[in-house]
C-alpha cells in the first residue's frame, strides 16, 4: 500500500493514537506527521493473504500471533507507527494487544513500484531498531522474488535472496515453505 502525506498540523503521539481510530482510513505516523494508507493491488493482497494462511496454523500452536495489513507496529513509543503487510509476534504482551504490536519477531512487506523504496529504506532503517525483530521479509508483487534479512550479532543483518523453485527458511519461527506458495493464485500483469 502507498502512504500519502496528510495536511493536518503536526500531532503528538497521544493525539495521533486518539485521532486515528476515528478515521475512515488507516494512517501511519512518523515524527508528528500522518500518512494515509491507500489501497493496494489485488496481487499485493493475494500475496499477503497467502503468507498469512501459511503462517497461521504453524504459529497458533506455538503461542504466537500473525496479523495482516490492518494492525500497526510501534517502532518506539514516540515514533514511528507503521502498518506492515504481515507481522508476527510471540511476545506475551502482544498476544492480548488491542491497539498495536510492540514486540514483533518477523515483519513482511509486499513490494510494489510505489512502496519499494520506502520499504527498503525508511521502514527497514526504523525496523532495525526494534530489538525483538529477528527477520524482515520483502516480497515482490510483480515477479517471483523474496528477500530475507535476518538479524545477526550487533548491528549485522544477513541477506538471503530467494527466487523461483526455492524453499524459504524463516529461522525466527522455525518454518520452511516453497516460494511458490506466496504466489499461488496471483494473476500477473501481461506486458505487450
Q: Which helix (H) or strand (E) holds 51?
A: helix 42-60
Question: pLDDT per residue over 155-170, tens digit each?
Answer: 899 999 999 999 999 9
pTM: 0.91
Domain coordinates in residue numbering, the chain: 40-183
Q: Which helix (H) or strand (E) holds 16?
A: helix 13-19
The fold for domain 40-183 equals: tt1808, chain A (3.90.1570)
Return the beta strands (E) in the chain as ranges. Answer: 3-5, 27-30, 33-37, 65-68, 72-74, 81-82, 86-89, 100-101, 106-111, 135-140, 145-151, 157-163, 167-170, 175-178
Tens digit of pLDDT at every position of the chain (192 positions)? 555 545 557 899 999 999 999 988 889 999 899 988 877 789 999 999 999 999 999 999 899 999 998 899 999 988 899 999 999 999 999 999 999 999 999 999 999 888 899 999 999 999 999 999 999 999 999 999 999 999 999 889 999 999 999 999 999 999 999 999 999 999 987 755
Amino acid at each position: 500500500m502507498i502512504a500519502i502525506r496528510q495536511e493536518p498540523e503536526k500531532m503528538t503521539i497521544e493525539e495521533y493514537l486518539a485521532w486515528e481510530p476515528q478515521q475512515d482510513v488507516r494512517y501511519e505516523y512518523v515524527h508528528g506527521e500522518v500518512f494515509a494508507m491507500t489501497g493496494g493491488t489485488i496481487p499485493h493482497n493475494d500475496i499477503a493473504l497467502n503468507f498469512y494462511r501459511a503462517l497461521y496454523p504453524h504459529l497458533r500452536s506455538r503461542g504466537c500471533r500473525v496479523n495482516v495489513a490492518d494492525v500497526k507496529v510501534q517502532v518506539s513509543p514516540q515514533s514511528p507507527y507503521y502498518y506492515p503487510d504481515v507481522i508476527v509476534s510471540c511476545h506475551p504482551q502482544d498476544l492480548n494487544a488491542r491497539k498495536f504490536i510492540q514486540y514483533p519477531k518477523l515483519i513482511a512487506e509486499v513490494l510494489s513500484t510505489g512502496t519499494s523504496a520506502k520499504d527498503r529504506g525508511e521502514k527497514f532503517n526504523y525496523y532495525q531498531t526494534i530489538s525483538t525483530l529477528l527477520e524482515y521479509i520483502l516480497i515482490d508483487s510483480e515477479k517471483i522474488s523474496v528477500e530475507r534479512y535476518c538479524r545477526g550479532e550487533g548491528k549485522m543483518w544477513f541477506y538471503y535472496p530467494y527466487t523461483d523453485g526455492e524453499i524459504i527458511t524463516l529461522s525466527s519461527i522455525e518454518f520452511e515453505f516453497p516460494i511458490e506458495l506466496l504466489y499461488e493464485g496471483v494473476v500477473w500483469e501481461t506486458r505487450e
